[in-house]
């Protein structure tokens, strides 16, 4: 009878490299399909340029200070809106998650307002703030508020009641138990809500800038570039926005894992 062989667990470096390689393979495959469709004339070249043409223009855009300033303008508006939404949503989510009466009284209102798309509120935002960066920031706040709020409520609902009761039995007040036990337990869920909101906020910021068509930002730059007769810069800017969203998500995920590596869910992934 043969002795079963034991598989050695993958090293942490290998566990990070393999998914990254798979992602690169998928990205390269998508580019190959794009290049093939453009090569066979699936769509007229002026409307659907090849992948190599778009990537070459995207690389050249990275070296243009004017485009970099537009990216920074969009980032500043997006991050400010995300910060405001987080400051509002986290305390509200803690309140709704901690007190069942408040949650039941507000659940219908939250579920009715949450599906309203931010871009549908663009006319209202323009009337209030004009064609300025404040319009973009206000819509980013609206669209970022809900994922952070919902995850904050869910995080508070997931707090172990036994841990809270144990803290109270050791003499901690209600607010001390909330600060020392409930908040650390809910923090990873809140961080996940913020990470989800990052991608949505970036998309809404660029789309709002495109709708207003004035001021600064990548969206306004795309509108101006599209009037030049060639869609190559538009595709190139869209590709760079997608890569920027991926980079922001990647950085925040790394920060999230480092801050909450003590949490059970991250310890399970590490093992």
Q: Is residue 236 in some structural domain?
A: yes
Q: pTM of the predicted model, to two decimals?
A: 0.83
Q: Is residue 26 in some structural domain?
A: no
Q: For residue 160, give the CATH number of its domain.
A: 1.10.3720.10
- The residues, ordered by sequence, that sit 6+ positions from 97 with a Cβ below 8 Å of its Cβ are 103, 152, 153, 154, 155, 156, 157, 186
Q: Is residue 262 in some structural domain?
A: no
pLDDT, one tens digit per residue, over 99-149 is 888 888 888 888 889 888 888 898 999 888 888 888 999 999 999 999 999
Report pLDDT for 183: 79
Spatial distance between the Cα atoms of 199 and 76, rounded to a whole number of angstroms: 14
What pLDDT band is residue 2 in, cutting at 50, 70 and 90? low
Q: Is residue 21 in some structural domain?
A: no
Q: Is residue 154 in some structural domain?
A: yes
How many domains does the structure of the chain reveal?
1
In which domain, by residue range, is 152 found? Answer: 51-246
Report pLDDT for 214: 63
Average pLDDT on 55-81 reads 91
Q: Is residue 39 in some structural domain?
A: no
pLDDT, one tens digit per residue, over 114-123 is 888 888 898 9
pLDDT, one tens digit per residue, over 236-268 is 999 999 999 999 999 998 888 888 776 666 655
Report pLDDT for 145: 94
Q: What are phi and psi of 77, to 5 degrees?
A: -65, -40
Contact 171, 179 (CB under 8 A): no
Average pLDDT on 62-82 reads 91
Q: Is residue 199 in some structural domain?
A: yes
Q: Is residue 65 in some structural domain?
A: yes
């Amino acid at each position: 009878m043969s002795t079963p062989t034991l598989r050695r667990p993958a090293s942490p470096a290998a566990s990070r490299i393999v998914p990254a390689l798979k992602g690169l393979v998928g990205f390269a495959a998508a580019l190959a399909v794009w290049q093939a469709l453009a090569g066979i004339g699936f769509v007229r070249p002026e409307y659907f340029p090849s992948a190599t043409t778009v990537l070459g223009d995207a690389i050249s855009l990275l070296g243009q200070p004017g485009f970099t300033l537009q990216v920074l303008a969009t980032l500043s508006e997006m991050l400010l809106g995300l910060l405001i939404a987080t400051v509002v949503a986290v305390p509200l989510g803690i309140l709704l998650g901690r007190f069942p009466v408040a949650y039941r009284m507000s659940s219908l209102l939250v579920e009715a307002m949450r599906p309203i798309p931010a871009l549908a509120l663009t006319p209202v935002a323009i009337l209030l703030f004009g064609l300025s960066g404040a319009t973009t920031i206000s819509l980013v706040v609206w669209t970022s508020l809900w994922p952070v709020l919902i995850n904050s409520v869910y995080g508070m609902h997931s707090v172990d009641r036994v841990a809270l009761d144990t803290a109270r039995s050791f003499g901690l007040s209600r607010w001390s138990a909330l600060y020392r036990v409930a908040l650390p337990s809910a923090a990873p869920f809140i961080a996940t809500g913020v990470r989800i909101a990052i991608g949505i906020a970036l998309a809404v910021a660029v789309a709002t800038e495109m709708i207003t068509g004035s001021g600064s930002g990548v969206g306004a730059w795309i509108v101006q570039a599209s009037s030049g007769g060639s869609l190559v810069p538009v595709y190139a800017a869209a590709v760079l926005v997608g890569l920027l969203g991926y980079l922001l998500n990647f950085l925040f995920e790394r920060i999230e894992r480092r801050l909450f590596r003590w949490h059970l869910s991250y310890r399970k992934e590490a093992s």
